[in-house]
Amino acid sequence: MVDEHYPTARTIVLVMDNLNTHDKTSLYEAFEPTEAKRLADKLEIHYTPKHGSWLNMAEIEFSHLSRQCLDRLIESKEILQQEVTAWMNERNQQKNCMEWRFTR
């Protein structure tokens, strides 16, 4: 996937949760050592907090988007952008949507 989608990238930034398989050492289980090192050197990994991750809230919103907006074939990229923008604007007007906060 690295070579297919990002062949010219020097660095690929990943944001992941702290699942025990989400580290560069897992590459060495899937690939030969030289290939694993080549891939690992391209990756810059940032982990979300272990407890109360904001990623969970993002996953919930994507789930709503999937069920409420993307539950059918959409014919073009332009229509997709219009549909998602309309869904997002409507969702942001609702009083029961998530309130994003950041505290230490």
pLDDT digits (tens, 9 = 90+) for 8-67: 999 999 888 777 667 888 899 999 999 999 999 999 988 877 665 666 777 888 888 999
pLDDT tens digits for 73-92? 999 999 999 999 999 898 88
pLDDT at residue 97 is higher than 70: no
CA 79-5-7 angle, 5° bins: 140
d(CA 73, CA 80): 10
pLDDT at residue 71 is higher than 80: yes
Query: In this structure, which amino acid lies at residue 59?
Result: E
22 close to 40: Cβ distance less than 8 angstroms: no
